[in-house]
Amino acid sequence: MNRDTAKLMLRVLFVPLWMGVGGVLLWLLVRQLELDKLKAELAHVAMGPLLLAVGLDVVAVLCKAGKWHLLLRPLERIGVLRLQGAIYAGGAVSVVLPFRLDEGVRAYAAARMSGLRWAQVIGSMALERLVD
């Protein structure tokens, strides 16, 4: 079995694992909710502003991924959508873990999807902070 096939098999095996972890975390969150009260509260939510907020968040993260793409371009070309996925992965981790560990996850995800080293990606993230 060549290396690419082994990597693909690992990815395929990790998908159910991560989905299971996500499912457990979601269950831990939802199990304490009173679903009847939640349903009654959600009936009063105005969907227009909510959809606008979600759309603006997607655009903001897409812009951040585009900026990161430009900063990494001299080292390696990584697609904007892949970087957007890394940003969302870091954001998901920040909900669960403290101390800004999401930045490390974001760097790890970007390094995994490219040929760059983790330190190179961290450097680009530091540069991104300076640009902001």
What confidence tier does 1 reach under pLDDT thresholds 50, 70, 90? low
- Per residue in 69-110, pLDDT (tens digit) is 888 888 888 888 888 888 888 887 777 777 777 777 778 878
- Please state, in angstroms and rounded to a whole number, the distance separating the CA atoms of residues 82 and 31: 33
Is the whole-model pTM more than 0.75? Answer: no
Q: Which residue has the tokens 């390696």?
A: 76
Select the highest-mean-pLDDT range: 30-39, 51-60, 63-72: 51-60
- Please state, in angstroms and rounded to a whole number, the distance separating the CA atoms of residues 51 and 55: 6
